[in-house]
Structure 1
C-alpha cells in the first residue's frame, strides 16, 4: 500500500503505493488526505480499463487517486483525474457497486462534463484545493496511504463541493453512458442500482448528514427508475463479474480496512479468517500494532502461498524498513520490483531503502530507480525529493537543486522552487536539456505563484 506509513515509503508507504487523501468535504474539522497504493490503484485501473477503451479513451490517459475519507464519494477533475474516497471502496462487499460508480464517473469524462471545471478554477480561493484538483499538492509527496496531507477544510470544503456539483442533465447522461458501457463489456449494472438505492435512502436527511456523493451528484427518481428498468431487462447478473475481480476486491477492501481502522478493530473484523484477504488484513494490523514477529509470520505465509505476488514482498519490505531494519528490507523491495518492474511506486520504495541503507554503492541504483519511476509518474513529489537526496549524498549539488525545484513545484511551494532553480542555473551548462527544463520550471513556478495570489 504505498506508504501507508503514514498507505510506507513503498507502494504501501504503508504498503509502497500510498493510500490516502483523507477528510470529508463538509466537516469543518476534517482535512483531505491523498493516499497512493500501487496494488489498489492497479485493481481500480483493471476495473476501469475496458470501460475506458470502449469509450475511446486510452486507459493510461486517466489518473486514479484515492482520498482517505470514510464517506461515499467519487469525482473527476481536470486532466482526466478520477478520485475515489476510501469509504466508497470499503463500503462495497462485492465489486459490482464500485464498478458501477466508476462507469458513471467515466461517463462524466466521456461527456466532457469535467471540462467546465477548467473555466471555474477561480471560484476556489485556496492554493491547497487547486493543488488537489490539479495534482500538484504537497499530498503528492505521499507514497503511502498513512502519510496524509491536509488539503482543505471548512469553507474550502463548501467551495469544492459547489465546484464539483453536476447538473441533473449531466447525471442522467453519465448514467446512460454507464449502463451502455457495462452492458457492452458484459458487466452487470446491479451494483450501480444498489448504490443509487443506498443514496436514495439519504435524500430525506439534512445536507450535512448526507454522503458527499449525493450532494455533488443530484439523484432523481427518474434516474433511479431508468437504472432499475435497465437491470430488470438485462441478462447480466452478479455472477458475470470475473472471479479474479472478486478476489482482488476482497484483498483491496481488507488492505484498506487494516490500514485505516485501529489495529484491534481490524483484527476483530478478520478474526478467524484464514483466506488470503483475512491473513493479509491481520498481517497489516499486527504490524501496525507493533507486533512484528506475528506480522512477519503472516506475510511469510502469504509469500509462501503466492511467491510471485509483488505486493506481499513490498509489504514485508515496508515492515522491515519502518522498524529500522533497512538492510534486511532491500531484498524484499528488490523482489517486488523484479516482479512488477513497471510499478513506479515499488521503485520509489526500493530507492528509499537504498538511500537510507548508508551504502554509497547503492546511490546510483537508487537514482536509476527514481528516474525510472518518474518517467511513468512525474508528478510524484516524494520521488523527486528522494532523487534530490540521492544526488546530494553523491555530491551532485547541481542536480540536487534541480530535483528540489521539481519537488517544490509539485508541493505548491513556488518561492522555494524558484530558489532552487536559481541555484541550479549557476551550475548547469547553459542550453543543456536540464538547463532548458529549469527555464520551464521557472516559468511554471512564476505563473502558479501569481495565480495563487
Structure 2
C-alpha cells in the first residue's frame, strides 16, 4: 500500500463553507501535498465498485467522479469540488459492513447530484452582498449618530443595525445547509433502493453518530446547527430506510471479504504493530488476519518470515494481484529490488496495468541499477503518470530513469513535477526553470516546465 502525501464538514462550518465558495482548494491541495492521502489500488478499486451503481442511478456515471482517501482515523466523508468524494480511512475501518460505508457514499452522492456545493456558493455570494449592505447601512447610522451627539442613541442603533442582519444571514445559511443534508439523506435512500441495496447501513451509521453526539447537542439552538438536530434527522431517516423493500438484504459474502481485507490492510499499514496484533490475533487464521500479520511482519519484523507468509497467501489465491504487489513491495523496501520485479510484473498483469502498481514496478526496475531496464522503466512510468497524474512517486522515479540515460532536461522536468505534487513549490520552480533552459522554446517539455514556473499559489499557500 503505497501511502503518500493533500476536511470535514463540521457542525458549524460557515467559515469553511466560505472557503469552498471562493475556490476548490481541496482539489488542488490534494494534488499538491496539502492533505495527507492514502493512494492504494486495492482500496480505491473497492470504493469505485461501491459507488459505481449509485453514480449510475444518480446520473453521474459519466462525470468521472473520483474517490480520494484521506489518511485520517476519524469517521468522515464529504464532497468539496463537485467531482470527488473524499473519504477518511477511518470511515472505512470503522464500517463493519460494506453496506455501512456504501450508505455514507450514497449520501455524499446525493450532495453531488443535488448540486449542493454550487448552490451553497451562490447563497454565500448573496449573503456576502447582504452583509456588505448591512455594514454600510450600519456604518452610515453610526456616522449620523456621531454628528447628532453622543446622547442621540443613533450610534448604538447603528451598531445594532450592523450586527442583527449578520446574525439573520448566518441563521439563514445554516438553515440552507440543514436542508441540503436532509435532501442528501433522501437521495441516498433513493439510490440504494434503486440499486437493490439496503439503506439499513446508512441508518445505522448515522444513528450511531447521532447517539454519540446527543449529549453535546442537548440545549443547543437548532437554528444554529448546519446539520439537522440528531433526533429529528435519525427519525426521518429511519422512516425512509425502513420503507425500502431491501431493508433486510445482507451484503454478498465475497464483498464482505473484500471489505474486511481492505480494513485489515489499512490497519496494518497505518496503526501501531501492537494495536494490529490485538485486533488480528495470531490464533485467527482468517484471510484478513493473515493479510494484516504479513504486512506488519514485513514492515516491523523479519522480511524472510513476511515473504513466507505472503507466499502462503499467493499459493491459496494465485490470481490476487494485491498479494503479488505486497510481495514486490516488501522485497523492494527490504533492499532486494531485483527480486521484486517478477512479483510486481505479475501484479501489474493481474490488475490490468493499475498505474500505482506499475509505478512500483518502475521503481524496482530503476532501483535494480541494471541499465538494461532503463528504457522499460521509462515506458512503464510514462504510461503510469499519464493515468495517475497526482502521484509524486511516478515522477520521481521517472526523473531517476531519465538521469541514468543522461536526458537531464526530462529529468529536471520530472523532478519539478514530483516536487510540485508534494507541495514544494520553491524546489519545483527552481527545477522547472532549469529544465526550460534545456528544452527548445515552445516544445512540449518547455511548455510544461513554464506552466510550473508560472503557477500561482493556491489559496492559503505562499509562493515561496
Measured against the shorter chain, the TM-score band is 0.7 to 0.9
Partner of 2:178: 168
- Native 8 Å contact 1:36 1:66 kept in 2: yes
Match among 315, 319, 323 for residue 326 of structure 2: 315
Q: Does residue 295 in structure 1 map to residue 306 in structure 2?
A: yes
> Does the residue aligned with 1:167 lie in a helix, a strand or coil?
helix
**1:285-434 → structure 2 map (5 Å cutoff):** 285-434=296-445
Task: Name the counterpart of 2:200.
Answer: 190
5+ long unaligned stretches in structure 1: 8-17, 122-162, 208-214
Q: TM-score, normalised by structure 1?
A: 0.77
Aligned counterpart in structure 2 of residue 249 of structure 1, from 259, 262, 265: 259
Note the alpha carbon deviations across 1:102-150, whole angstroms, 9 max, x for none: 11111111122234687889xxxxxxxxxxxxxxxxxxxxxxxxxxxxx
The 2-side partners of 1:407 and 1:296 are apart by 31
**Counterparts of 1:222 and 1:449, CA distance in 2:** 37
Report how many aligned residue pairs link the two structures: 385
Contact in 2 for aligned 1:263/1:288 (Cα 8 Å): no
Q: Secondary structure at the match of 2:289?
A: helix
Distance in 2, matches of 1:304 and 1:238, equals 36
Residues 68-79 of structure 1 mapped to structure 2, 5 A cutoff: 68-78=71-81
Cα separation, 2, equivalents of 1:264 and 1:318: 22
Q: Are residues 1:84 and 2:104 paired? A: no
SS in structure 1 opposite 2:212?
Answer: coil
Cα RMSD of the aligned pairs, angstroms, is 3.0
Task: Provide the secondary structure at the position in 2 that maps to 1:82.
Answer: strand
Normalising by the residue count of structure 2, what TM-score does the alignment of the two structures yield?
0.76
C-alpha change, 1:108 and 1:276, in structure 2 (3 Å) is same
Q: CA deviation at 1:282?
A: 1.5
Contact 2:417 2:428 in 1 (8 A): yes
1:402-435 deviation line (CA, Å, top 9, x unaligned):
2122223323333333322322222212332223
Q: Structure 1 pair 380/442, CA: closer, same or farther in 2 (3 Å)? A: same
Structure with the higher helix share, 1 or 2: 2
Change (3 A) 1:46 1:449: closer
Higher-Rg member (1/2): 2
Which structure 2 segments of 5+ residues have no match?
A: 12-33, 126-172, 218-224
Q: CA 1:330/1:342 → structure 2, altered by over 3 Å: closer, same or farther?
A: closer
Q: Distance in 2 between matches of 1:102 and 1:256?
A: 19
Query: What is the SS of the residue equivalent to 1:83?
Result: strand
